[in-house]
Structure 1
Amino acid sequence: MRSWIVVPADKDKALGQVAGSGADAVVIDLARAASEDTKQHTRLAARDWLVSHRSQVVAARSFARWVRIGPVSSPHWRADLEAAMEGAPDGVVLAECIGTDEVQQFAAALYECESRAGVRSGATKIIPELGANPAAALHLQPFAEEIHARIVGLGWDAAALARSVGARRMRGPGGLWTDALAYVRGQVLLAAHAQGLMAIEAGFRDTRDAEGAKRAALAARGDGFSGMIAVHPSQVEAINAAFAPTSEEIAEAREIVGLFALNPGAEALPSRGRYVRQGDLARARKLLGED
């Protein structure tokens, strides 16, 4: 999935319009800090949106329904999760995840919520947002070594990390990420590829800078990310275009799939001056929609 648009659950107008944004995944954000009274309203809004779009009858095209929950250190995440699961989302983005132990804790609660909501056990996927503070940023390696079965991708929250270190900017000259943020971004990208997962780029925050958003999406695709967060519907088209496979990529993917079809069980095969392996085959099938 290329474009992931995040919509605050307390923005009624945005919720009403997001189904037509063209994004591959809509993420209803319940992770924002709020009072308990406000939380009650946003939980109901998120649940109702998820329920009403479960069949996606009114949508112009199919999209995945996700919800953003957490952080686990907050007092509201369990109640948020229980409310959201009544709408049977396809997955949960776990905000400000600090480690694999936290994923285990969250996944255990998710099993309980699935059971109460009548959702098939294990059906709800997880994408943790990593490196939101300095301590978490320096302990990302476990995500490259052992991953929970529910995790289908890894993301990162540039804004949370910037706040945590007191940064006054997130990007420097030419739109490049500043050093601390670039470090986390690179680690998340490598961990995702080490596990064969989606790597989701953080959103471009300036909604007034369309050209900047386009450049950021192209840079993310060029660096190896598989998708990117959109913080406004106006960014979705540029993200979809940046992450769309080229005709050359499609042709090469077909060649790789064909090679392995002719040589079942092979571990490595020569192709275009290099050796392609099972990981290349998996990526080729995913690009062709055969995974």
Structure 2
Amino acid sequence: MTWRSLLFVPGDRPERMEKALGLGADALILDLEDSVAPAAKPAARDAVRSLLERAPAGPALLVRVNPVASEAFATDIAALAGAPLTGVVLPKAEGRATVVALREALPGDYAVLPIATETPRAVFALGDYDGAGLAGLTWGAEDLPAAIGALGSREADGGYTDPYKMVRALALFAAHAAGVPAIETVYPDVRDLDGLAAYAARGRRDGFAGMMAIHPAQVAVINAAFTPDEAELAAARRVVALFEANPGAGALQLDGRMVDAPHLAAARRLLGAVTERAGG
């Protein structure tokens, strides 16, 4: 299943997790890492476990654990034993070896969503993912600049500086090379919904399949950006129908423009994603 919106919710806020179930996000990321202070982590594990055990209907439920190399990791994993969750979000991922280490420790066959660009070493491991056991691949623009002593990752207009444009592109291609959905990173200005809409639209244009959110108000905007409208669907159906009517053709004309195998593949991918979501 490809998720359009993945909403972070602090694990130590049970009332927010409960409310988030009805906000329309395709997936919730119940957080045990950055949004939870060290002293609050035990209570957060209990609250997340309590929610998971109820197996509520609605969005897919993922848990962001602490990094594999951290002291909190083993306790996080123990808290998930037997829990009916969809997957685990892996922070500070550094290639396939980190995913393998997580999967060997997990008390179940849960899908993994690595956040794959949070350390300098991680950037050089982006081509290492093979897709095994992955729910997708995502990236971040907050931890990496802090790790290298950069003053930030964005220009004054909100666009990324050159190093992070590169990292975003590499993460996008790494996901597709691994055969899994590419998930766009968060948009930090929770009040700027117009900016979010433009950012999410660029993400979908560039090849991302969905996007993470950090505030409930962002969910509807992200869902809209990653949902094709009827005009897109109609155009895709016409491309597919054209090739079905001309079996064996390599390139055809539609409304005066050439369409060929990449256009057909894109049309089928679009229609397939919509069918999958309707069935999921």
Q: Which amino acid aligns with 1:147?
A: G
The answer on 1:250 being equivalent to 2:252 is no
SS of 2:90's equivalent in the other structure is strand
**1:135 Cα deviation from its structure 2 partner:** 1.9
**1:210 Cα deviation from its structure 2 partner:** 2.5
SS of 1:141's equivalent in the other structure is helix
Distance across 2 between alignment mates of 1:262 and 1:93:
44
Q: Which amino acid aligns with 1:40?
A: P
Contact 1:31–1:70 (CA under 8 A) maintained in structure 2 = yes
Residue number among 101, 105, 108 corresponding to 1:109 in the alignment: 105
Structure 1 moving runs of 4+ over 4 Å: 255-264
Aligned to 1:119: none
Aligned to 1:147: 131
Within a 5 Å distance, the mapping from 1:107-186 to structure 2 comes to: 107-110=103-106, 113-114=107-108, 122=109, 124-143=110-129, 146-148=130-132, 150-186=133-169
**1:261 Cα deviation from its structure 2 partner:** 6.9
Distance across 2 between alignment mates of 1:276 and 1:284:
14
Which segments of 5 or more consecutive residues in structure 2 lack a partner in the other structure? none
Within a 5 Å distance, the mapping from 1:41-80 to structure 2 comes to: 41-52=43-54, 54-56=55-57, 62-80=58-76
Q: Which amino acid aligns with 2:184?
A: E
Question: Structure 1 residues 169, 245: CA separation in 2 closer, same or farther (over 3 Å shift)?
Answer: same
The answer on 1:82 being equivalent to 2:78 is yes
User: Structure 1 vs Structure 2: percent identity of aligned residues?
Assistant: 35
Residue number among 223, 231, 236 corresponding to 1:240 in the alignment: 223
The answer on 1:229 being equivalent to 2:225 is no
**1:55 Cα deviation from its structure 2 partner:** 3.7
More deviation in 248-257 or 72-81?
248-257
Aligned to 1:276: 261
TM-score norm. by structure 2 comes to 0.85
Q: Which amino acid aligns with 2:98?
A: E
The answer on 1:196 being equivalent to 2:179 is yes
Question: Structure 1 residues 262, 105: CA separation in 2 closer, same or farther (over 3 Å shift)?
Answer: farther
Contact 2:14–2:48 (CA under 8 A) maintained in structure 1 = no
Question: Structure 1 residues 261, 80: CA separation in 2 closer, same or farther (over 3 Å shift)?
Answer: farther
**1:285 Cα deviation from its structure 2 partner:** 4.5
Which segments of 5 or more consecutive residues in structure 1 lack a partner in the other structure? 57-61, 115-121
**1:9 Cα deviation from its structure 2 partner:** 0.3
Distance across 2 between alignment mates of 1:220 and 1:68:
23
Distance across 1 between alignment mates of 2:19 and 2:276:
31
Question: Structure 1 residues 73, 284: CA separation in 2 closer, same or farther (over 3 Å shift)?
Answer: same
Contact 2:237–2:267 (CA under 8 A) maintained in structure 1 = no
Deviation track 1:148-187 (CA, whole Å, cap 9, x = no partner) reads 2x11210012111121122323321432112222211111
SS of 1:126's equivalent in the other structure is strand
Q: Which amino acid aligns with 1:276?
A: A
SS of 2:63's equivalent in the other structure is strand
Distance across 1 between alignment mates of 2:16 and 2:246:
50
Distance across 2 between alignment mates of 1:41 and 1:263:
62
| RMSD (Å), alpha carbons | 2.5
TM-score norm. by structure 1 comes to 0.82
More deviation in 94-103 or 250-259?
250-259
Question: Structure 1 residues 290, 204: CA separation in 2 closer, same or farther (over 3 Å shift)?
Answer: closer
